[in-house]
Structure 1
Amino acid sequence: MNDVQTVTGSTLGSTFPLVKLPRDEESCDYNPFQHRKVSHPTTDSQTLMHLLKGSLGSGILSMPLAFANGGLWFGLASTFLVGIICTYCVHILVKCSHILCRRAQVPSLAFADIAETAFLAGPQSLHKWSRFARFIINAFLVIDLIGCCCVYNTFVAKNVQQVVSNYYPEFDMDLRLYILCLLPLLIPINLIRNLKHLAPLSVFANLLMATGVIITMYYIFGDVPSLTERKSIAEWHRLPMFFGTVIFALEGIGVVMSLENNMKNPQHFLGCPGVLNFGMAFVVILYASVGFFGYLKYGDKTKESITLNLPMDEVLAQCVKLFIAIAIFFTYALQFYVPMEIIWKNVRGHFSESNKNVAEYAIRITLVVGTVATSIAIPDIGPFISLIGAVCLSTLGLMFPSIIEIITYYERPGYGKFNWVLWKNMLLIAFGIVGFCTGTYVSLHEIYNEIFKVKSQP
Structure 2
Amino acid sequence: MSETKKKLLGDPLASNYHLVASANTMETGSLRFMNEKHRNLHGMGWFVTCLFIVGETAGGGLIALPSALSNAGIFSGLLIVAVVAAACMYTGMQLSDNWAILQQRWPEYREHCRKPYPAMGNRSLGPGFGKFVSFCLDLTCFGTACVFLLLAAKNIESFLIAWGGVEIGFCQILIYVSICVLPVTMLKSPKDFWWAVMLAMVTTTIAVSLIIYGSIEDYPTCSRHISYPEFSMEKTFMSFGTVVFAYGGHGAFPTIQHDMREPYKFGKACTLAFVLICVMYLPVSLTGYFTYGGSLMDTIIPSLQNANLQMAVNCLITLHVILALTIMFNPINQSFEELMKVPHDFCWQRVAARTFVMACVVFAAESVPNFGPLLDLVGGSTITLMALIFPCVFNLCLCAGKEKYKGEEASKDEEPVSLSDILEYTPKKKLLINLLVLLMAVIGGCAATFSAVDTMMNLEFHPPCYAAWFTGHLPNSQTAHLDNHGKFACCGEHRNISRFGLDYCLNPFEQIGAASHG
Picking from 420, 428, 450, the partner of 2:437 is: 428
**Cα contact 2:302–2:310 (8 A) shared by 1:** no
1:221 and 2:224 are equivalent in the alignment: no
Return the alpha-carbon distance in structure 2 between the equivalents of residues 453 and 259 of structure 1.
38
Distance change >3 Å, CA 146–CA 227, structure 1 → 2: farther
The secondary structure found in structure 2 opposite 1:239 is helix
Q: Which amino acid aligns with 1:400?
A: F
Return the alpha-carbon distance in structure 2 between the equivalents of residues 203 and 379 of structure 1.
31
Distance apart, 1:309 and its partner CA: 2.1
**Cα contact 2:56–2:200 (8 A) shared by 1:** no
- Shifted more, 373-382 versus 182-191: the winner is 182-191
- Structure 2 counterparts to residues 3-402 of structure 1, below 5 A: 29-30=33-34, 33-34=37-38, 36-37=39-40, 40-108=42-110, 110-119=116-125, 130-169=126-165, 171-224=166-219, 229=226, 231=228, 234-270=231-267, 274-311=268-305, 314-348=307-341, 357-402=347-392
**Cα contact 1:79–1:246 (8 A) shared by 2:** yes
Runs of 4+ in 1 over 4 A off after TM superposition: 25-28, 105-109, 225-233, 351-354, 413-418, 453-457
**Cα contact 1:68–1:234 (8 A) shared by 2:** no
The number of aligned residues is: 413
Give the TM-score normalised by the residue count of structure 1. Answer: 0.82
The secondary structure found in structure 2 opposite 1:193 is coil
Distance apart, 1:83 and its partner CA: 0.3
Distance apart, 1:50 and its partner CA: 1.5
**Cα contact 1:72–1:231 (8 A) shared by 2:** no
The secondary structure found in structure 2 opposite 1:192 is coil
> Structure 2: 5+ residue runs without aligned partners?
1-24, 405-421, 465-474, 477-518
Q: Which amino acid aligns with 1:346?
A: L
Distance apart, 1:63 and its partner CA: 0.6
**Cα contact 1:74–1:233 (8 A) shared by 2:** no
Distance apart, 1:184 and its partner CA: 2.1
Partner of residue 455, structure 2:
446
Distance change >3 Å, CA 374–CA 407, structure 1 → 2: same
**Cα contact 2:54–2:201 (8 A) shared by 1:** yes
Distance apart, 1:72 and its partner CA: 1.9
Q: State the identity as a percent.
A: 18
Return the alpha-carbon distance in structure 2 between the equivalents of residues 64 and 193 of structure 1.
36
Distance apart, 1:379 and its partner CA: 3.9
Distance change >3 Å, CA 133–CA 212, structure 1 → 2: same
- Shifted more, 445-454 versus 81-90: the winner is 445-454
> Structure 1: 5+ residue runs without aligned partners?
1-24, 120-129
Q: Which amino acid aligns with 1:132?
A: G
Distance change >3 Å, CA 402–CA 242, structure 1 → 2: same
Q: Which amino acid aligns with 2:103?
A: C
CA-to-partner distance for each residue in 1:321-354, whole Å, 9 max, x for gaps? 1122112111110111122122222322xx5799
Distance change >3 Å, CA 400–CA 204, structure 1 → 2: closer
Return the alpha-carbon distance in structure 1 between the equivalents of residues 462 and 189 of structure 2.
43
The secondary structure found in structure 2 opposite 1:212 is helix
Distance apart, 1:297 and its partner CA: 1.6
Distance change >3 Å, CA 37–CA 453, structure 1 → 2: closer
Q: Which amino acid aligns with 2:203?
A: L
The secondary structure found in structure 2 opposite 1:182 is helix
CA RMSD of aligned residues (A): 2.9
Picking from 376, 395, 398, the partner of 1:408 is: 398
Distance apart, 1:107 and its partner CA: 4.6
Q: Which amino acid aligns with 1:58?
A: G
Return the alpha-carbon distance in structure 1 between the equivalents of residues 444 and 386 of structure 2.
12
Return the alpha-carbon distance in structure 2 between the equivalents of residues 438 and 93 of structure 1.
25
Distance apart, 1:285 and its partner CA: 2.9
CA-to-partner distance for each residue in 1:273-292, whole Å, 9 max, x for gaps? x2111011111232122122
**Cα contact 2:77–2:236 (8 A) shared by 1:** no
Give the TM-score normalised by the residue count of structure 2. Answer: 0.73
Distance change >3 Å, CA 26–CA 439, structure 1 → 2: farther
Distance apart, 1:118 and its partner CA: 2.0
CA-to-partner distance for each residue in 1:75-130, whole Å, 9 max, x for gaps? 123201110011111222221332343333455471111121123xxxxxxxxxx1
Return the alpha-carbon distance in structure 1 between the equivalents of residues 95 and 303 of structure 2.
38
Q: Which amino acid aligns with 1:194?
A: S
The secondary structure found in structure 2 opposite 1:303 is coil
**Cα contact 1:250–1:284 (8 A) shared by 2:** no
Distance change >3 Å, CA 452–CA 320, structure 1 → 2: closer
